[in-house]
Amino acid sequence: MYEPRTYRNWENAGCLIPFQVMEEETDLFILASTELKELGYYFVKKYRQEIIDYIKRQPEFASSLKPVKIHLDASSIIRDMAEAAAKASVGPMAAVAGAVAEYVGKELLAYSSEVLVENGGDIFVHTLSTRRIGIFAGKSTLSGTLALEISPDQSPLGICTSSGTVGHSLSFGKADAAIVISKSAILADAAATAVANLVQTSDDIPLALEHGQKIEGVSGLVVIKDDKIGIWGNVKLCPISPHADLKVSE
């Protein structure tokens, strides 16, 4: 079932041009220096088809909740998803939204010097100026009050969110938002699932942060449950403002 992504109404693109690319379950919100909707659609179809074709060869890739071994001739997006899943100890499809966001974003960088791609709360960022990424955490009292500040020297960057209370993605936890920052949006997506799975109550936040720190490639963590928040790593938070560029949400 499609859930309206009302948090996208909070974006303030500045000089960047916003546009949406949809194909079946994939729904990307993109900011770039020029309108690239047709190209975005082409690359979404390309990478979706690679994933679909591979799942036909190895159905376990889609159904497994733990890492799987893949064929040696698998495409790069499949290899990257499998590698991220192995690092985070989750199934490879836990990385699919981040993978599509990153692969499409990197393709569009050939046509735009700045690109932000949001795919259901999983974001690929390549920016030349400081950006603020607002945090949406469902019914938490902290939702809509804070933003991540991202500087140009951090990008390209992945910022991905998993939630047990917002959205339709599978989670075994009840976190309002488990946000992971990494140089790879693919790894960030897989790691966000692993971190969110550990949160049932706000008392689990320290355990989730401790676990996330151990995943190779994770540089920052934010975990929100009810009115509590835990933060670790290279994270700069600021009050949300009308100048937030995007919102992270599952």
pLDDT per residue over 188-198, tens digit each? 999 999 999 99
In a domain, 195, yes or no: yes
- Helices 37-57 and 96-108 sit at what angle, rounded to 10 degrees? 140
pLDDT value of residue 113: 95
The model's pLDDT over 27-38, given as tens digits with 9 standing for 90+, comes to: 999 999 999 999
**What does the pLDDT average to over 5-10?**
43
Task: Locate all alpha helices (DSSP H) within 72-229, ordered by sequence.
Answer: 76-88, 96-108, 185-196, 205-213
Output 226 or 170, whichever has higher pLDDT: 226
Structure tokens, 165:
């209370």
Q: 56, 43, 9: which is closest to 246 by C-alpha?
A: 9
Question: Can you tell me whether residue 98 is helix, strand or coil?
Answer: helix
**What does the pLDDT average to over 137-150?**
90
Q: 161, 156, 155: which is closest to 173 by C-alpha?
A: 161
Residues β-bridged to residue 131: 150
Provide the CATH number for the domain around residue 190: 3.10.520.10
In a domain, 178, yes or no: yes
Distance CA 28, CA 40 (A): 9
Give the pTM: 0.89
**How far from the centroid of its chain's Cα atoms is residue 247's Cα?**
11
In the DSSP assignment, the letter for residue 83 is H
The model's pLDDT over 157-214, given as tens digits with 9 standing for 90+, comes to: 999 999 876 655 656 778 999 999 999 999 999 999 999 999 999 999 999 999 999 9
pLDDT value of residue 1: 31
Q: Residue with structure tokens 């500045």?
A: 14
User: What type of residue is 78?
Assistant: I
> Does residue 156 have a cis bond before it (omega within 30 degrees)?
yes
Q: Residue with structure tokens 């390209």?
A: 156
Helix and strand numbers, DSSP H then E, in the chain: 6, 12
The model's pLDDT over 62-121, given as tens digits with 9 standing for 90+, comes to: 999 999 999 999 999 999 999 999 999 999 999 999 999 999 999 999 999 999 999 988
**Average pLDDT over all residues of the chain:** 90
Quick check: 249 pLDDT over 60?
A: no
Structural domain harbouring 140? 6-248
**What does the pLDDT average to over 240-244?**
62
pLDDT value of residue 39: 98
In a domain, 186, yes or no: yes
pLDDT band at 52 (very low <50, low <70, confident <90, very high): very high
In a domain, 22, yes or no: yes
In a domain, 93, yes or no: yes
Structure tokens, 245:
């560029």
For 10, 177, 185, 202, 209, the CA distances from 88, given in Å and listed in that order, are 31, 17, 13, 22, 13
Distance CA 13, CA 32 (A): 9
Task: Report the number of distinct structural domains present in the chain.
Answer: 1
In a domain, 1, yes or no: no
In a domain, 206, yes or no: yes
Question: Are 195 and 208 a contacting pair, CB within 8 Å?
Answer: yes
pLDDT band at 138 (very low <50, low <70, confident <90, very high): confident
Q: 214, 216, 235, 215: which is closest to 224 by C-alpha?
A: 235
pLDDT band at 242 (very low <50, low <70, confident <90, very high): low
